[in-house]
Amino acid sequence: MSSFSAKITFYDLARRVKPNRCWSYNAWKTRLVLNYKKIPYTTAWVNHDTIGPTLEAIGIRANASEQGFPYTVPTIQLPGKAAITDSAVIVTELESLYPFPALNLDSDLQNEADRVTFMTCMPLFAIYMPEVARSIIEESTVPTFNNSREKRFGMTLEELERARGGEQAWKAAEPGMSAMKNLLTSRKMDEGPFILGSQVCYADFILVASLETLRKAGNGMFERFLEWDSCFRDLYEACLVWFENDQ
């Protein structure tokens, strides 16, 4: 069997409600690429307790991280090749191996998409992360998840929610949402819904993955985000076909 006829193995985070469906922002960035390019793959589901030994077994080295994330998704195992991790590394490799349809990789656009997504999502983590612990991840992994996030934020998720959640989180996210809107509306070459207009690029997936992640949280964040400006709904609806395979 040739390497191109074999399927990629895609490692993704399991959820509490079964069957498993993709909910992780970083995982969606890679899953969207696979779906857009129609690359055959199968999903191997891991959780916050099994991700370490699972990825170590396929040759992934632990990250030198101070925030409690030595192993992360997305990670993929390419047929006949070494496993690779990190969405930015993965998309470059996939674009090289599967160049059509092209994703128009542009490091400047992608860096800007990362920047505005970070600006937006960091304040909203005070709402989102406690919801992940309450209802999304497998119950047995909640202590591991809580401990790693406490290292990251310097407080428990309950303290984070009380101190920075609610309306103040949305207020703090507004500069990021404005920057995201500007990225979506200021570089169009025609009237299409994507950053460049009618032509999708990987930077679009960096943005829209955050919207799907909020939708999977199921606590109204997604709907509120789309109501903020029509450009977000336009982008999301244009990408719906690539969200269909979430398993």
- The pLDDT score that the predictor gives to residue 4 is 52
Q: Which stretches of the chain score pLDDT less than 50?
A: 1-3, 66
In a domain, 2, yes or no: no
74 half-sphere exposure, CB direction, 13 A CA radius? 26
- The pLDDT score that the predictor gives to residue 87 is 95
In a domain, 184, yes or no: yes
Q: Which domain holds residue 161?
A: 107-243
- Rounded Cα distance between 202 and 95, Å, is 10
- Rounded Cα distance between 230 and 102, Å, is 27
Spatial contact of 151 and 68, defined as CB atoms under 8 Å apart: yes
Please indicate, yes or no, whether residues 91 and 113 belong to a single structural domain of this protein. Answer: no
Query: Of the candidates 74, 97, 120, which is a domain's last residue?
Result: 97
Query: Of the candidates 67, 97, 127, which is a domain's last residue?
Result: 97
- The pLDDT score that the predictor gives to residue 51 is 96
- 220: closest CA among 131, 144, 148, 101? 131
Please indicate, yes or no, whether residues 112 and 234 belong to a single structural domain of this protein. Answer: yes
**Per-residue exposure over 9-39, b if at least 16 CB sit within 10 Å of its own CB, e if not:** bbbbbbbbeeebebbbbbbbbbbbbbbbbeb
Adjacency order of strands within the sheet including 41-46: 41-46, 8-13, 75-77, 83-85
- The pLDDT score that the predictor gives to residue 17 is 96
- The pLDDT score that the predictor gives to residue 5 is 54
Please indicate, yes or no, whether residues 223 and 123 belong to a single structural domain of this protein. Answer: yes
Q: What is the CATH number of the domain that holds 74?
A: 3.40.30.10
In a domain, 144, yes or no: yes
Domain count, the chain: 2
In a domain, 102, yes or no: no
Please indicate, yes or no, whether residues 40 and 141 belong to a single structural domain of this protein. Answer: no
Please indicate, yes or no, whether residues 63 and 144 belong to a single structural domain of this protein. Answer: no
Residues in the chain: 247
CA-CA-CA-CA dihedral for 58, 47, 7, 90, to nearest 10: -70
In a domain, 203, yes or no: yes
Please indicate, yes or no, whether residues 59 and 134 belong to a single structural domain of this protein. Answer: no
- The pLDDT score that the predictor gives to residue 63 is 82
Please indicate, yes or no, whether residues 155 and 186 belong to a single structural domain of this protein. Answer: yes
Query: Of the candidates 70, 97, 124, which is a domain's last residue?
Result: 97
- The pLDDT score that the predictor gives to residue 69 is 76
- The pLDDT score that the predictor gives to residue 1 is 37
- The pLDDT score that the predictor gives to residue 3 is 45
